[in-house]
Amino acid sequence: QVQLVESGGGSVQAGGSLRLSCAASGYAYSMYCMGWFRQAPGKEREGVAAIYTGRGNIYYADSVKGRFTISQGNAKNTLYLQMNSLKPEDTAMYYCAAKNWCGSNWYRSNEYNDWGQGTQVTVSS
């Protein structure tokens, strides 16, 4: 049974930093596309970043390039999202998700099979 559990959300002021974690279990983590998504109230879920753990390919949304960094833990069963220079528009529920492979469609949430419960990030101005 696949399980994804996020942690690390919280409230920070603009310009601050947070690191989100996603603990993965129940499958061969090293072979999957692992992504971070976010959803703000009244908005669609959007892809933030993804990593193809089998090859190391990394993808970012334009809105977070240069500020956010996605990475794997040494044990390969943990996914991280380091978020720096946070802005109020980054406020959202952040989700970890997984699917079989990554490509140019990494940002399409409906193609991901497994999801965590989400962790809230709030950035105040």
pLDDT tens by residue, 99-118? 988 899 999 999 999 999 99
Q: Return the closest-CA partner of residue 79 out of 106, 116, 109, 41.
A: 116
| Residue the block writes with tokens 């960094």 | 69
pLDDT, average across residues 17-40? 87
Q: Is residue 41 within 8 Å of 20, Cβ to Cβ?
A: no
Contact 58, 50 (CB under 8 A): yes
Whether 86 has a pLDDT exceeding 60, the answer reads yes
Distance CA 26, CA 19 (A): 23
Please, are residues 60 and 105 in contact by the beta-carbon 8 Å criterion? no
Task: Give me the pLDDT at residue 54, please.
Answer: 75
What is the rounded average pLDDT for all residues in the chain? 93
Tell me what the mean pLDDT of segment 39-55 comes to. Answer: 93
The whole-angstrom separation of Cα 47 and Cα 74 is 24
